[in-house]
Structure 1
Amino acid sequence: MNIGIDVRPSLVRPTGVGSYVLALAQRLPASAPDHHFYYFSASLRDRYPIRTWPSNVTLVDRHLPVRALNFAWNRLGWPSLDMLARAHFDLVHSPHPLLVPARKAKHIVTIHDLFFLKHPEMTEDEIRRDYAPLVPKHVRRADGVICVSEHTASEARLLLDVPPAKIAVIPNGVDPVYRAPIAPEAVDAVLARRRLPRGAILYVGSEERRKNLINLAMAYMGLARRRRKPTPPLVLIGPGSWWAQGGTDVGPQIRAVGYLETSEIRALMAASALLVLPSLEEGFGLPVADAMAAGLPVVCSRGSALEEVAGGAATLVNPLDTKSIADGIERVLDDAALAEEHRRKGLEQSRKFDWDTTAARTLEFYRRVLGS
């Protein structure tokens, strides 16, 4: 069986969907040695990172303009993956909700969230232009739909009218790096390199509007003003932070460090007081699962998939209320017993999220769709 997977989201500095793609790409071939996997990437500027793949993997890396290819794929259904990879396919998996065109293959898409349907005004131009009008049509044509949480599956049924029989809920996993012990000297080295103190408040994520960074900054500054004791700095980890680009003056206590490799994030989690993720909505919330696996207490938004992933192991806040966010952070900072309870429950909850299990269940779904 030939299986094609669009691995472009993991091409450069993978986060979110890119982490999902890379985790599957690294695990699926060993789980299915009798199948051949074609990993497709395309860019004019960037080449897919050199990795050692098993013998049942072929990397197809084409010099093509990404936006032109997206337009042709999404709106014209051309060129087919068969043509680009010079192969035929039994099944093609798109890690996002728009189909990868293939001639006779079964099609699977993954839906991570549907925020773009509910709030198109808060999404990037390309997402607003392509996803909102095209996703309903593409999902209807798909043979199978993977949703990364029960919350996302519920929204797919409600907003896209996807039949329950067509959906598989397959949660994301946690990178083993977050579960592994880390040497104190490794933590000290990262703190020194990034010039950060111990006990910081961490945010991990992008600068998308749904991440609610303005409310987070306002909540933090309000907390710092009202507290009678020093407030640890807020450290923003993620690509393209507008603070790092001079987007606003937030003072010396809010530090934007940009994109970090997983090993550095793990080190900072070992040295920090808590992770805060006050998103307006998430389809899963990988930083929450990662932090819990690392033993870091979590403060996150009530509702959406964050509450599902946290599973009673986090302090939940109203993302629209800056006082609620500030109060949640303060409770975890000042209540050692609560922080320890979050650590204990978080470690237990995080065991539900394992990339090996994600890959195995994805492969099972491939077989189910092929047999339908």
Structure 2
Amino acid sequence: MNIWIDGKEANQPNRVGSGQFAFEVIRNLEKLDHKNEYTILLPSLTMEDLPKERPGWNYKILKPNKLWTIVTLPLALYSAKVKPDLIFSPTHYIPRFSPVKRVVTIFDLAYLHFPEMFTKKDLWQLTNWSKYSIKKADHIITISKSTKKDIMKKYKVKSKKITVAYPGYDRKNYKLQITNFKLENIKKKYEILGGYIIYIGTIQPRKNLVRLMEAFARIVHLRGETKSTSGLHLGGGLQLVIAGKTTGPGRKGWKYEDILKTPKMLGIEDKIIFTGFVPAEDLPVLLYGAEAFVLPSLWEGFGIPVLEAMACGVPVIISNVSSLPEVAGNAGLLVDPYSIDQIEQAMRTLLTDKKLGGKKSKQGLEQVKKFSWEKCAKEILRSFNKLAN
């Protein structure tokens, strides 16, 4: 089988979200499959950490970059002397025209549930192009059963047209021994003074960070009332670390201005740390040192940071909506994302109940074993084989 892959999302620095997914799937397909022929299509020179070329694994640079799915990819497909059997897009957008079968990836339909939380440009693109991709693709890859059900319901797609391929996490990166020396150096780097709760993800309205900070402010303002599992007074030294990107190259958050203003409005500026983008090598250390990980999203296609937190043995607090209960299983402490009371109580519980925190930590370490990028790539490859046959 001759397979082409749109590698644009994978070929960028500081990968998160769809870029991380595209990179890991490409990397694991190269490891797994030496039988089929692959061509990875890129708009620029290959980044060094992508798999090296070999027989059956090649890169092709195409121009122009701006009209990538409308002109560049269709032109490459129609002009190819030897056409591929299929083209795989690890993003919401397939080539607009194609003489070959197309496989698309749909991460979530948050743009339908919360249109007001997207920029006008992104909303228009997601609404129109995702609909086109879902209707015209020969097969759809998605990352949770929750999103699969959503696609079936919103777009009237049959179950057999959709494959669920759960994302994984970088197991090698999360097997490292974390020493107190490493932890103290990382805390110093990000100006963390004591104990902390952590959020990791994009900085955008759907992540529900304003309610998270409001819940955290209640704990801080009741300082000295109770102690955490580490003996830390809940008020005094506790901080909330929000790790996510707002500037620089690569994908970053959006509509985050109000989020960044919230700490000042709540009078907790010294208690909130916005780290900006955190390199992959720092994440395990930051997570390992946290008293809890919180992801109170209004909607998630999956939630890779939940896996990363569980892999570090950190108890997780997650929303009781969309895919998050599916990801965390019985390891997650579930909250209504609209309830500041529930978010506050969940954080307070994990800070004060050592026994429960230990139980959730063990359950998380078991739950995370179910997920890997290798399994994800195998599911995707299986869908290619079915489509080809």
Task: Tell me if TM exceeds 0.5.
Answer: yes
- State how 1:42-121 maps to structure 2 within 5 Å: 42=43, 47-51=45-49, 52-55=51-54, 56-62=56-62, 64-66=64-66, 68-69=67-68, 72=70, 79-82=74-77, 88-101=83-96, 103-121=98-116
Structure 2: which amino acid aligns with 1:164? S
CA contact (8 A) 2:93 2:133 kept: yes
1:195-221 CA-to-partner distances (Å, cap 9, x unmatched) read 224531110000121111111111111
Alignment-derived partner of residue 202 in structure 2: 206
SS in 1 for 2:131: helix
- 2:168 maps to amino acid: G
The secondary structure found in structure 2 opposite 1:107 is strand
**Which residue of structure 1 lines up, in the alignment, with residue 305 of structure 2?**
287
User: C-alpha separation between the residues in 1 aligned to 2:205 and 2:4?
Assistant: 32
Answer whether contact 2:77 2:99 (CA < 8 A) is retained.
Answer: no
Deviates further, 183-192 or 332-341 = 183-192
Residue of structure 2 equivalent to 1:196: 192
For 1:330-369, list aligned pairs within 5 A. 330-369=348-387
How many residue pairs match? The answer is 363
Contact 1:198 1:272 (C-alpha < 8 Å) held by counterparts: no
Report SS of the residue matched to 2:331: coil
Q: 1:317: Cα distance to partner?
A: 0.8
User: Of 152, 163, 169, which aligns to 1:168?
Assistant: 163
2:28 paired residue number:
27
Counterparts of 2:310 and 2:120, CA distance in 1: 33
Cα contact 1:29–1:35 (8 A) shared by 2 = no
Map 1:304-319 to 2 at 5 A.
304-319=322-337
Structure 1 regions of 5+ residues with no counterpart?
A: none
**Which moves more between the two structures, 20-29 or 80-89?**
80-89
The answer as to whether partners of 2:199 and 2:294 remain within 8 angstroms in 1 is yes
Q: Partners in 2 of 1:103 and 1:133 — Cα distance? A: 18
Aligned to 1:302: 320
Q: Is the 8 A contact 1:5 1:93 kept in 2?
A: yes
Cα deviation digits, residues 20-79 of structure 1 (max 9, x gap): 111111110221112222222326xxx54223514032223445343x435x35xxx964
State the TM-score, normalizing by the size of structure 2.
0.87
Give the direction of change, closer, same or farther, for the CA distance of 1:324–1:157 in structure 2 (3 Å limit): same
Alignment correspondent of 2:144:
149
Confirm or deny that 1:225 pairs with 2:221. Answer: yes
AA in 1 matched with 2:101: K
Structure 2 residues without counterparts, runs of 5 or longer: 226-232, 247-252
C-alpha contact 2:78 2:98 (8 A) present in aligned 1: no
Determine which structure has greater relative contact order: mean sequence separation of CA pairs < 8 Å that are 6+ residues apart, divided by chain length. Answer: 2
Aligned to 1:235: 241
Deviations 1:245-266 (A, max 9, x none): 9644251100001111111011
Q: Is the CA contact (8 Å cut-off) linking 2:209 and 2:259 kept in structure 1? A: no
After superposition, residues 116-127 of structure 1 pair within 5 angstroms as 116-127=111-122
User: Tell me, what secondary structure is at the counterpart of 2:108?
Assistant: coil
Identical counterparts, % of pairs: 26
Amino acid at match of 2:191: R
Per-residue Cα deviation, 1:212-242 (whole angstroms, up to 9, x for no partner): 1111111111221124233420001111164
Give the secondary-structure state (helix, strand or coil) at the position aligned to 1:304: coil
Comparing 5-14 and 360-369, the one that deviates more = 5-14
> Match for residue 5 of structure 2?
5
Counterpart contact for 1:89–1:104, Cα < 8 Å = no
Alignment counterpart, residue 280 of structure 2, candidates 262, 268, 272: 262
- How much has 1:116 moved relative to structure 2? 0.7
TM-score by length of 1: 0.90
Residue 148 of structure 1 deviates from its aligned partner by 0.6
- Alignment deviations for residues 70-122 of structure 1 (CA, whole Å, 9 cap, x no partner): 5x35xxx9643426888632111111232125643211111110011222221
Q: Is residue 2:292 matched to residue 1:274?
A: yes
Q: Which amino acid aligns with 1:69?
A: W
